[in-house]
Structure 1
Amino acid sequence: MTERGSMLAQPLRRPSAGRALAYLGLLLLGVLVAMAGALVQAAWFPGGLLLALAGAAGLFLGGARAAGSRGGAVAPAAGWMVTVVFLTASRPEGDFLFGAGGGSYLFLLGGMALAVICATLGWGRQSGADTVRLGK
């Protein structure tokens, strides 16, 4: 096997305790940003919606950059999505946080789109070498 082939076929390892704790913290931050965004997006439409989506995008992209991997964007995105979907469900008492307006759907779908974009654009594994040529 060539040197190039051995570098690409690296086995997956279990994350360290510090990295797992960081992902858990990012997941909890995703929950907090979703709850704050749910309150802000309807308050000052359309500025509140843009503010809520900008906060979510900042968390997703910042998590990817801080962790140095796509997992840093996926962890807060997972917390955000679960929280928003949980908040959209109506309860037997008839209480719900989101109305049936267009802003609520834009918040839900826009946040999901931002999560996918930020997780896709997240920093993947990069070679540590100074002289790396693509395609060679």
Structure 2
Amino acid sequence: MSPAGREPAQGSMLAQPLKPPSAGRAAAYLGLFVLGAVVGLAGALVQAAWFPGGLLLALAGSAGLFLGGARATGGRGGAVAGAVGWMVAVVLLTASRPEGDFLFAAGGGSYLFLLGGMAVAVICATLGRGRQPDGP
């Protein structure tokens, strides 16, 4: 109990037990994961088609998804869900097939897309609002 005896003492947020996300929040994270995979696929195609502008467009689309996901869910988890979907799609697209086909060339634009997308994901997840304690 608190000193005034009105309500139980909360303590540190780190000391609170973890609760599973609600069904709506889990569906939002799943949707952001799938949307991240779609943005990764579209970015992989666009960055190679129109090199300087396509690369910037692909990275801006990724940043929009990551930051928008963080803002929509009210925490960093939205940015992370989109970034994980983006990363899974891009890593799967970098693997060559047995026929010798591949989507990413060994050029500078492809590496800028891969590394730039990872940097954008980290920046947007950092900028996203973290879990805030209840209070004024």
Asked if TM exceeds 0.5, the reply is yes
Equivalent residue, structure 1, for 2:31:
25
Percent sequence identity is 77
State TM-score, norm by structure 1: 0.89
Alpha-carbon RMSD: 1.7
Q: Deviations over 1:10-69 (max 9, x none)?
A: 221100111101100000000000010011001111010000000000000000000001
One-letter amino acid matched to 1:36: A
Q: In the TM superposition, what is the alpha-carbon distance from 1:86 to its structure 2 partner?
A: 0.6
Closer, same or farther: CA 13–100 of 1 in aligned 2, 3 Å: same
Equivalent residue, structure 1, for 2:11:
6
Closer, same or farther: CA 37–126 of 1 in aligned 2, 3 Å: same
Q: Which ranges in structure 2 are unaligned for 5 or more consecutive residues?
A: 3-7
Aligned residues: 130
Q: Which ranges in structure 1 are unaligned for 5 or more consecutive residues?
A: 131-136
Q: Deviations over 1:84-113 (max 9, x none)?
A: 011011011011111111000000000011
Equivalent residue, structure 1, for 2:121:
115
Equivalent residue, structure 1, for 2:61:
55
Equivalent residue, structure 1, for 2:112:
106
1:18, 1:49 → 2: CA distance? 33
State TM-score, norm by structure 2: 0.89
